[in-house]
Amino acid sequence: MRQNKPDKGWKYKVHEVIYEADTPLGKWFDILLFVLIIISVLLVMLESVKWIDAEYHEILFILEWIVTILFTIEYIARIVSIKQPKNYIFSFYGVIDLLSTIPLYLSYIFAGSQVLLAIRSLRLLRVFRILKLVRFLGEASQLKNALKASRAKITVFLFAVLILSVILGTLMYLIEGDEAGFTSIPTSIYWTIVTLTTVGYGDIAPITPQGQFIATLIMLVGYGVIAVPTGIVTVEFGKKSQAQKTIGDKHFVHVNTQACRNCSKEGHRDDATHCYNCGSEL
């Protein structure tokens, strides 16, 4: 089907390789991009480990430049090969791609000794490159839908947990005081949430018998409370999986990963010849 289309210039070919995953070249491009992102995130991580940075600083620096240049090429190719660049530049992925590319350049532009520390933080922005991986999470739609459907309930639930935490936190601040680490109400609330969620660091822990008694109650409440989001999400998953069984197949058509060259929308039918969003030829 695809092969029958006439040659439409290098822009078309670049678009097909970069934006789509149906052709062999498109698949190779996706795999390469995936590996490149993983490498670039590992570079940021390794750089933050003092002894690795001390020993291998130059290698890391060179690799970082290679990765940045490749990302720059990819970014330019994405802008050039699309008909309406604005649609890409201001999309979620467009912003992420830009943020993933510029930190190294910026660190040269603002290279005064004064702002050195701020730049260090700036360069860590490169870790957001991992968000480029979200592209490959396409299969997650069922998870996303289940979470979206239970969003209202989870908001109400978190709101109730916060009210509870403020009151219990203040109570523990009154009972325990400074010695046990409950130095202020915000700190006590932090401790309460650490306990309610069953994380329990132990950096702050009650030492008075009354405090330990209240803590025990908070934990038992946390027991019941942790059941609520699980209950919500499980029921939502159950609905989806029942829906899948009962709704007939005729309502579903297979969509491919082809993206419109004009508006970059994905999810076209296999037999589509025009974009369902802007109507331009595919």
Report the residue number, 73 or 106, with the smaller CB distance to a copy of itself.
Answer: 106
Residue among 133, 129, 83, 84 nearest 103 (CA): 129
In angstroms, what is the minimal distance from the CB of 118 to a copy of itself? Answer: 11
Report the residue number, 93 or 157, with the smaller CB distance to a copy of itself.
Answer: 157
Query: What is residue 7's DSSP assignment?
Result: P
- The letter for the amino acid at 86 is K
Report the residue number, 197 or 273, with the smaller CB distance to a copy of itself.
Answer: 197
Binding to a copy of itself (CB under 8 A) within 170-189 occurs at: 170, 173-174, 183-187, 189
Q: Is position 219 an interface residue for a copy of itself (rule: CB under 8 A)? A: yes
Binding to a copy of itself (CB under 8 A) within 153-172 occurs at: 153-154, 156-161, 163, 166-167, 170
Terminal-to-terminal C-alpha distance of the chain = 11
Going through 132-255 in order, the beta strands assigned E by DSSP cover none
In angstroms, the CA 33 to CA 42 distance is 14
Q: Is position 238 an interface residue for a copy of itself (rule: CB under 8 A)? A: yes
Identify whether the C-beta of residue 100 lies closer than 8 Å to the C-beta of residue 128: yes
243: its two tokens? 């829906």
Which segment (22-30, 73-81, 146-154, 267-275) binds a copy of itself by CB under 8 A? 146-154
79: its two tokens? 């802008």
Report the residue number, 137 or 253, with the smaller CB distance to a copy of itself.
Answer: 137
In angstroms, the CA 267 to CA 167 distance is 49
Report the residue number, 85 or 200, with the smaller CB distance to a copy of itself.
Answer: 200
Q: Which of 56, 99, 190, 277 binds a copy of itself (CB under 8 A)?
A: 190
